[in-house]
Structure 1
């Protein structure tokens, strides 16, 4: 509520102290995997029209060579490394199949395989790099330096990580706290939403605990350092995110889970088709052609396209409707969630307070608004906004004074008006208006529930079969009110970041696939630990946005159940495509083994099945797919 502090000019705006320059975020082109994949795709796209229109080989041949080399060398190297470890994966099979296709003149077929695998590897590398950068960038929340007070009363500027337990530091208005500790003297409002998720700055007085990286308000604080730099809440958040990211079980697309057996089977069959007839005296050229035909028709192109087009189409459709899904693996995983955990402030709610009730004299609201008009505190702005919304005339005030951590006072129409935090159990959600020393009114506040929050909770309950749980660092009273409005029953309040992550891990250990939805730095460990993490995009912290698998760009909660339902539709299409691909590939393989499959017919059948499953997957590109998913989620 207090605007300027007692140690600062009366109307000086409070701004955060500048943070030290952080690490530059990795650009897309910084990654070699991305550059090689882009070069491979570009060369393929340039060669494709020339090849299809009958241009001479010298025109498109070098382009295909660039495509194969740029996109294939890394999967080939990975496959050889796996082979050295006595495992055979689909990377090596893909490269061999592509080279085999090129050896018998089917350059387009092999190039398509190369591009698919190169682009998939680039996307995975990019996601990994950005997550690592976001974790390192979190350290920029805490200032690099601190003002340490010596026993003589003098000040010295030191590196924040050089502070020791027991040191006393001075934190001026607008600065970030350099360490976890306890307030020795001074009063202020500290914005610690990034740590606890509380929507309002917390009043701090001597004896109160404060956290590194939180933003001091308008009063000066003297703080005794209580923890080493490596033990602060911010440092623990970094450790929790890194640990969760490292220990999270690797997830794969469905087809990747059977790649080992599939690869071994195709290679063994190909070698058998080549070796056995030759041992029986068959013609070498005819035998080689038959073996290569088998490898072409059995190559994983159609199977890979069975999976990717539906998932990529779903990603594109979700993106057009304000939901960014970061990879095909994430889109597939979304459809498997069976439990949802929701943050409160900034997720279920808008994150800004509003006046919900005025108890007392009707004129008190206008007087309070006059006193709060110079204030920059969120509660002060809410009082002024409510008075204006009611059409009240706000009189002029004089002799404005602020008491950091307590409230404001001013002279309005010849009367002494003070607006202060209400004492007792409602101290965090109400203020009292004193006129000439007498209580004239009590103003109650609440964080506004997002539009459609209750409907989204109901839809998620229907989709998963379990009602969502509210995980919040806010106080129990505020959490219970929000839960009632949103239709939630299971509420856990007063949680620190490690508590949220622990709750998610507990559910995951019990076999649940948890969808965690949050927006703040304090949500990042839980987002990383969850089966799927979702961040709210508009007010989300950088760490939450990078750690999450999904970003709801427009903060529309209704998009959450819709994208889960869309993922389930995509998974059903994947199963359909796999059946189609298996029937087509199986038929061609049997034909080649039991009879004589002409190479052109084998290639045509293989490409036909590839096109068929690709077109089937593209059905999800239509806006009608999103509307059907939203209707399915709504029940």
Structure 2
């Protein structure tokens, strides 16, 4: 890309009231409907016709009833892959889709109408699912632009306000961002103090304080203060727009992935066509009857067709997909399931992936003078802080209130509540004035030696990667609360399992600050930590790993993870809190946010790949035996069909072994 995100990550946010939900208008998201795609309509029609014809045939209905329905199924399901195959022929390429259409028509020509129709339905459905996945991903990329508001309030030289489309904003314009609105353009704050939730860009869980001179990004959510912002980038070059371009480019440049059997598609197709023609022409040249030669050739095409080979590949992978789905992992295709087993390096996001994504009170530190007991106990300090924070909607405020509730502390009534953006909140509890907020601002009016002792305690809390919140009672420091985002249950075990499976320790890629990242990494056992990363830098880190020959899995949940998810060998999104773009861009989704399923699905994929190899051996032995029989002797058509269908059923049943619950338990224990 020509544009590079170079802005530094924002500092940790002090506690203050969160912004209310944005009232800025946004364009409605449009989802691709399944039946809106031509491929899906044709596949649905072919399947319905097949399901109508099959019981008629099996119950002995007149041939003209089910025959007409089969003919329509051939036409509706086969015309599109057939047409695409013919277009590929013009490029001197022969694909399996066209080969399957020919095999289906050949089966019909010798009376095996149902077998041919089933083949048509399978391939039409596969094509429809692929088209749907492609369209949904494109929708999600376009929908990312809905994060930015459609209009912005531009200020003229006299201070007048004018609502204009964000596309009309130019560099140098000044815009007004009211409380609760989304920022309309990338720029720099000229006037005002507020907090801005920019998790969509940086992934940092807490709102970032914004004062004059600080940078803001389009699509981020303003808090309780009003901001005047000078536009520094055109709408087409905003951070959000660049994320869209990065996702699109990563998706386009990602090497096309094929299932194992598709990698030999050309050679097999050409070889089968050439062999079928030879089986027909050679006996005919030596005086064999035309009907006999045609029957032998059609029998050869039936027994040599790759139906068993296709089913050798698909049932294990689809069974693995179904088993993973039962345990909360949505794998979007058989190709993805195959790729999961190839992963040999893992890059993990922090907030919302390895952690719960919500701050929690981890320590309560009352202040004490040297040689004396603290004026307030832990419970009293937390009770006062929770009482003042209860009217606030800031994430840190909710964490303090929740901590008091979990400890069973009584709720106190407050009066004269006041919130100051970038500083904190103040209220009267009983007869005491209590302030809770950012230490740096609240300590400005505190004298010595209390100020020095408080700064030492704040430094101790922040040195461990926690966010420090200061509590003042009647303008005297009473204590410090330490808050942090907790690791998910089993995060350390998951990291260890991934290292064992891939042979290399996972990497932590996060937009959060280095201290918080280092603290989490130490807790879960990660040594390679890359913090303060913007979306472009996460993408660069993944490309760096892949340039060294690694097949990288990226696990993330936010918009800022989407470019890396798209570029990675395999992208996995956390489902519950994941952004729409991350969920659509990723190849797999952890629906229940259970980290332990990540290594389990890798192990399950590897088991599926081993079953694929087994099935290919079985299918190859059957095909070779039947082909040899047809060429050397005289293979009766019914026996050829029975052998062909029998091998198909056998490999199918073998592949279904991964549906068993024991298969998942074995994968978890790997």
Shorter-chain TM range is over 0.9
Q: 1:29 touches 1:35 (CA, 8 Å); kept in 2?
A: yes
Q: Which residue of 1 aligns with 2:89?
A: 83
1:457 to 495, 502, 509: 495
Q: Which residue of 2 aligns with 1:9?
A: none
Q: Which residue of 1 aligns with 2:529?
A: 491
**2:316 maps to 1:307:** no
What pairs with 1:117-516 in structure 2 (closer than 5 Å)?
117-360=123-366, 361-362=376-377, 363-423=380-440, 426=462, 429-516=467-554
Relative to 1, partners in 2 of residues 1:172 and 1:428: Cα closer, same or farther, differing over 3 Å?
farther
Q: 2:27 touches 2:150 (CA, 8 Å); kept in 1?
A: no
How far 1:68 sits from its partner (Å)?
1.0
Q: 1:182 touches 1:207 (CA, 8 Å); kept in 2?
A: yes
Q: How many residues align?
A: 624
Q: 1:166 touches 1:226 (CA, 8 Å); kept in 2?
A: yes
* Partner Cα distance (1:299, 1:528) in 2: 35
Greater mean deviation of Cα atoms: 35-44 or 17-26: 17-26
Greater mean deviation of Cα atoms: 556-565 or 273-282: 273-282
The CA deviation string for residues 107-143 of structure 1, in whole angstroms up to 9 with x for no partner, is 1221121111111111110110000000000000000
Report SS of the residue matched to 2:362.
Answer: strand
How far 1:23 sits from its partner (Å)?
4.3
Q: 1:584 touches 1:606 (CA, 8 Å); kept in 2?
A: yes
**2:121 maps to 1:115:** yes
Q: Which runs of 5+ in 2 are unaligned?
A: 1-14, 367-375, 441-457
Q: 1:471 touches 1:493 (CA, 8 Å); kept in 2?
A: yes
Q: 1:19 touches 1:141 (CA, 8 Å); kept in 2?
A: no
Q: 1:244 touches 1:529 (CA, 8 Å); kept in 2?
A: yes
The CA deviation string for residues 609-635 of structure 1, in whole angstroms up to 9 with x for no partner, is 011111111111122211111112xxx
* Partner Cα distance (2:559, 2:661) in 1: 34
How far 1:178 sits from its partner (Å)?
0.5
**2:591 maps to 1:567:** no
Report SS of the residue matched to 1:189.
Answer: strand
* Partner Cα distance (2:211, 2:428) in 1: 26
Report SS of the residue matched to 2:485.
Answer: strand
* Partner Cα distance (1:22, 1:15) in 2: 16
Q: 1:421 touches 1:428 (CA, 8 Å); kept in 2?
A: no
Report SS of the residue matched to 2:57.
Answer: helix
How far 1:50 sits from its partner (Å)?
2.9
Report SS of the residue matched to 1:432.
Answer: strand
Q: Which residue of 2 aligns with 1:536?
A: 574
* Partner Cα distance (1:254, 1:591) in 2: 27
How far 1:200 sits from its partner (Å)?
0.8
Report SS of the residue matched to 1:281.
Answer: coil
Report SS of the residue matched to 2:364.
Answer: strand
What pairs with 1:42-121 in structure 2 (closer than 5 Å)?
42-121=48-127
* Partner Cα distance (1:511, 1:124) in 2: 28
* Partner Cα distance (1:604, 1:300) in 2: 15
* Partner Cα distance (1:539, 1:406) in 2: 29
* Partner Cα distance (1:105, 1:296) in 2: 12
Q: 1:19 touches 1:140 (CA, 8 Å); kept in 2?
A: no
Report SS of the residue matched to 2:164.
Answer: strand
The CA deviation string for residues 374-431 of structure 1, in whole angstroms up to 9 with x for no partner, is 1110111111111222222232211111001211111122222111212387397111
The CA deviation string for residues 219-263 of structure 1, in whole angstroms up to 9 with x for no partner, is 111111111111111011000000001100000111001010000
**2:574 maps to 1:557:** no
How far 1:163 sits from its partner (Å)?
1.0
Report SS of the residue matched to 1:293.
Answer: helix
* Partner Cα distance (1:176, 1:377) in 2: 17
Q: 2:417 touches 2:428 (CA, 8 Å); kept in 1?
A: yes
Q: 2:346 touches 2:506 (CA, 8 Å); kept in 1?
A: yes
Q: CA RMSD in A?
A: 1.4
* Partner Cα distance (2:597, 2:16) in 1: 38
* Partner Cα distance (2:579, 2:206) in 1: 17
* Partner Cα distance (2:290, 2:408) in 1: 94
Q: 2:565 touches 2:572 (CA, 8 Å); kept in 1?
A: yes
How far 1:182 sits from its partner (Å)?
1.1
* Partner Cα distance (2:185, 2:645) in 1: 62
How far 1:99 sits from its partner (Å)?
0.3
The CA deviation string for residues 509-554 of structure 1, in whole angstroms up to 9 with x for no partner, is 2211111011110000000000111111111100001001101111
Q: 2:108 touches 2:116 (CA, 8 Å); kept in 1?
A: yes
Q: 1:2 touches 1:407 (CA, 8 Å); kept in 2?
A: yes
Q: 2:318 touches 2:334 (CA, 8 Å); kept in 1?
A: yes
What pairs with 1:586-601 in structure 2 (closer than 5 Å)?
586-601=624-639
Runs of 4+ in 1 over 6 A off after TM superposition: none
Q: 1:409 touches 1:418 (CA, 8 Å); kept in 2?
A: yes
The CA deviation string for residues 409-468 of structure 1, in whole angstroms up to 9 with x for no partner, is 111222221112123873971111111222111111100211111111111111111111
**2:16 maps to 1:2:** yes
Q: 2:466 touches 2:482 (CA, 8 Å); kept in 1?
A: no
Q: Which residue of 1 aligns with 2:585?
A: 547
* Partner Cα distance (1:246, 1:84) in 2: 24
Q: 2:94 touches 2:266 (CA, 8 Å); kept in 1?
A: yes
Q: 2:93 touches 2:266 (CA, 8 Å); kept in 1?
A: yes
TM-score (norm 2): 0.91
TM-score (norm 1): 0.96
Greater mean deviation of Cα atoms: 481-490 or 540-549: 481-490
Q: Which residue of 2 aligns with 1:10?
A: none
* Partner Cα distance (2:390, 2:145) in 1: 36
The CA deviation string for residues 13-53 of structure 1, in whole angstroms up to 9 with x for no partner, is 82212432234111111101011111112222222233334
Report SS of the residue matched to 1:555.
Answer: coil
Report SS of the residue matched to 2:627.
Answer: helix
